[in-house]
Amino acid sequence: MKVSKLLVALFAGALSLAAYAQQPIVIKFSHVVAADTPKGKAAEMFAKKAGELTKGKVKVEVYANSTLYKDKEEMEALQLGAVQMLAPSLAKFGPLGVKEFEVFDLPFIFSDYDALRKVTNGPVGKQLLAKLEPKGIRGLAYWDNGFKSFSANSPIRTPADLKGKKMRIQSSKVLEEQMRSVGSIPQVMAFSEVYQALQTGVVDGTENPISNLYTQKMHEVQKHLTLTDHGYLGYAVIVNKKFWDGLPADVRGQLDEAMVQATRYANQIAKVENDNSLEAVKKSGKTTVYAPTKEERLAFKKAMLPVHQKMEGRVGKEVIQAVYKDTGFKPDSL
C-alpha cells in the first residue's frame, strides 16, 4: 500500500473512532402505561432533563405501553441489562422476592398522598429500596400514580357487590387476599391484556387509578366506576446496578439531578392527571361514576382490613408496624 493510501486509511480510522467516542450513552427506559399518564410524562421529563444536564452525553429512549416488554418480562430484561431503567409499580417487587414491598398494596393503609410520602421520603422507603441491591437493582426514586378505584359492569356500592366477580389484579399476594376478602375472584393478568379481557368478559372488573383506566380506554368497556380509593398504586424508578455503577461519576451525578427534577415533576402532576382523567371519564358518558359516602367507604375498609393481619407473615409485621407509625394509621376511621 502506498504511503498516501495508508495515511488516508489511518485518518479515516481515527475519525470513526472519534465519532464512536462521541456516541451518546443510551438508556432504554421501558414501561407499560400510556405516554400521557403520570409515569409516562415523568419518564419523558427525565429523558429531557438527562439530555440537557449531560449535554447530550446520555440519550434516554422511552418505550411506553409495553412496546418493549410486558409486566413480568421487563424486570427480567432489566436484570439482564437488555433495558437500563424501569418504573414498575411497587406491587412488582413481591414476585421478585422482596415481599416487604407488598406493604404498599395493603388496602386502606394510606389515607392520602401525605401519609404515603411520610413512608417513601423516610427511612422505611430508603430501607426498602436498599433491599433491591442484591437483585442487581438500584432504586433511585418513588413516583406517584394514585389511589385505586373499582370498576365493573354492574354498580358497586357495597363490598357484597364485588362478590363472585372475576377481578383483574397485578401479580400480588396481598391484592389476591384483598379481592378474596370481599368474595371476589382475583385474576392475575398483565396490564397490556386488561382492556381486551374486560371487553370479552374474561374478567368482570378491575382496580386502578383513573389515569390508567382512562388512558387504556377501560371506561369504554366498564359501565360502572366507584371512587373507592381503597389502595395506593405508585412506582419505584430502578436501574440495572452494574450499568449505573459503571457510568462515569460526573455523568451519574448529572443523571441523579435529572432524576430529582423528574421526581418532583412526577409527584406534582400525579393527582392533577388523575383528576383530569376522572373528568374525561365522566364526560365520555360511557361509565357511570359513583362517589361513595364516607360510611360506604368505611364499609369497604372494614371488609378489607383483616388482610393486613392475614398478610403479616408474608409482608412482615415490622414493616407494617413501621408504616402504621409513620402515617398515624387509624383502623377505625378514614
Q: How far is the CB of 219 from ligand LMR (least distance, A)?
A: 15
Binding mask 222-261 for ligand LMR (x = CB under 6 A): ----------------------------------------
Q: How far is the CB of 145 from ligand LMR (least distance, A)?
A: 6
The SS3 assignment for 12 reads: helix
Rg (C-alpha) for the chain, rounded Å, is: 22
Residues from 54 through 83 that contact ligand LMR (CB under 6 A) = 71
Q: Other C-beta atoms within 10 Å of 120: how many?
A: 23
Q: How far is the CB of 242 from ligand LMR (least distance, A)?
A: 24
Binding mask 138-177 for ligand LMR (x = CB under 6 A): -------x------------------------x-------
Q: Are 238 and 131 in contact (CB under 8 A)?
A: no
Residue nearer to ligand LMR on the CB measure, 116 or 247: 116
- In whole angstroms, give the CA distance from residue 330 to residue 301: 11
Residue nearer to ligand LMR on the CB measure, 33 or 137: 33
- In whole angstroms, give the CA distance from residue 249 to residue 251: 5
Residue nearer to ligand LMR on the CB measure, 71 or 326: 71
Position among 33, 83, 128, 174 found at the interface with ligand LMR (CB under 6 A): 33
Residue nearer to ligand LMR on the CB measure, 212 or 287: 212
- In whole angstroms, give the CA distance from residue 277 to residue 209: 9
Site size toward ligand LMR (CB under 6 A) is 9
Quick one: which H or E segment has residue 105?
Answer: none
Residue nearer to ligand LMR on the CB measure, 33 or 53: 33
φ, ψ (nearest 5 deg) of residue 201: 80, 15
The CA–CA distances, whole Å, from 183 to 124, 158, 165, 179 equal 32, 12, 8, 7
φ, ψ (nearest 5 deg) of residue 252: -60, -40
**Residues making up the chain, counted from first to last:** 334
- In whole angstroms, give the CA distance from residue 278 to residue 214: 8
The SS3 assignment for 86 reads: strand
212 binds ligand LMR (CB under 6 A): yes
Residue nearer to ligand LMR on the CB measure, 212 or 327: 212
Q: How far is the CB of 268 from ligand LMR (least distance, A)?
A: 18
Residue nearer to ligand LMR on the CB measure, 33 or 85: 33
- In whole angstroms, give the CA distance from residue 91 to residue 102: 6
Give helix 249-284 / helix 113-120 axis angle, nearest 10°. Answer: 160
CA nearest 207: which of 173, 164, 156? 156
Q: How far is the CB of 239 from ligand LMR (least distance, A)?
A: 17
Residue nearer to ligand LMR on the CB measure, 208 or 327: 208
Residues that bind ligand LMR (CB under 6 A): 32-33, 71, 89, 145, 170, 191, 208, 212
